A = this chain, B = another copy of it.
Amino acid sequence: MNDSLHVLGIDIGGTKTIVAIADNNGAIIAQDRINTPREQGPSVVLASIEKALRGLITRHPLRITSIGIGCGGPLDRERGVILTAPNLPGWENLDLCEHFEGLFGVPAYLDNDVNLMALGEARYGAGIGVDYMTYFNIGTGIGGGIVIGERLYRGCGNAGEFGHQIILPDGPECTCGKHGCLESLCSGTAIARRAREYLQMPENSASLILSVARGIQAVTAHHIAEAARAGDELAQRIWRETGTYLGLGVANVISILNPRLVVLGGGVMEAGDLLMEPIRQTVQDRAMTQLAADAEIVTGRLGDQAGIVGAVSLALEGEHDEDPSRGKWIALG
């Protein structure tokens, strides 16, 4: 048995969950990616996560000192409780930290999955050494994270809802129940919906998107990227529009936070330059000149590992992962 300190990380997603064991430098020693059997309810999901963790510990019999957990949905970080998880049916008021603390006898810490992606990128990815970093995750939804001096800024608990800033006051209804949010225009789901609206117009009936996706109902952001790369004009226009909307959202975050670095991650960013070019152009055209010049805009370096790396970071920090506003730092000012 190795006596140095190690931690467990859990990144719970609606379809996949990643578990990992890492050393006290945050280096992942081993990880396992399992399906999330969400239709079978929380107890089955929790049992399969436990099984995967025990498998890791059996193969790597190391001394575990804490557990970091990332999960979506409104949660109470301080109590370690999931309030509701939109992607996980039945996860209401679930005491996730207590559950894993009981199983493994070490403290567990919980945070929003996108916050942990931001933390992962800040400490081990695109944001290493950066003082002011903001992170956008553009996937099924759009989330964000604010990292100040390598620490998460959370405000009253849920700061960084970049996807719910209002981009078009008269825009479409959003998953949050409001209107015109960035997420209602640029999430993977919203991009596909906008594409379907275009594809229903007779003048777009010859678009490559339809043949790539094999039918209008099956269209995803992935198909639109494929069609755009094959030269389809409608697909290219959809990405330009999407990048322009995203650029407005990035410009606003830049005007408000004046970051040094904006990191863009999540599945939709697989579109690459189809998105990055209009995003950067829009920021240059629309944000205040000096603030736009301060901020580099890059894609994440950790890909879909950002969340598990962040969960490991959280485990390593544990109760020390304090917000920069907390008194113990301020008192020294």
Residues of A within 8 A of B (CB): 74, 131-132, 144, 146, 148-151, 153-162, 164-169, 176-180, 248, 251-253, 255-260, 285-291, 294-295, 317, 320-322, 324-330, 332-333
Contact = CB atoms under 8 A, between A and B. Distances in A.
Contacts of A156: 131-132, 258-260, 291, 294-295
11 contacts: A132-B155, A149-B324, A151-B330, A156-B259, A156-B260, A162-B256, A164-B291, A165-B255, A168-B169, A178-B286, A332-B332
A255 B132 contact: no
Given A325-B132, A325-B148, A258 B158 contact: yes
8 residue pairs, one from A and one from B, having the closest CB atoms: A329-B329, A155-B258, A149-B325, A159-B258, A324-B324, A156-B294, A148-B325, A165-B252
B329 A333 contact: yes
A178 B287 contact: yes
A262 to B, nearest CB: 12
Given A320-B333, A333-B317, A288 B325 contact: no
Given A166-B251, A328-B329, 16 more contacts: A131-B325, A148-B153, A151-B330, A151-B333, A155-B259, A156-B259, A158-B294, A159-B258, A165-B251, A165-B255, A166-B248, A177-B289, A178-B287, A256-B256, A317-B333, A324-B325
A184 B291 CA distance: 18
A66 to B, nearest CB: 15
B285 A161 contact: no
A43 B248 CA distance: 42
Contacts of A248: 166, 169
A322 B327 CA distance: 14
Contacts of A150: 330
Given A258-B154, A320-B333, A169 B166 contact: no
A150 B258 CA distance: 19
A258 B143 CA distance: 14
A166 B250 CA distance: 11
Contacts of A168: 169
A161 B333 contact: no
Given A329-B332, A332-B328, A161 B291 contact: yes
Contacts of A330: 149-151, 324, 329
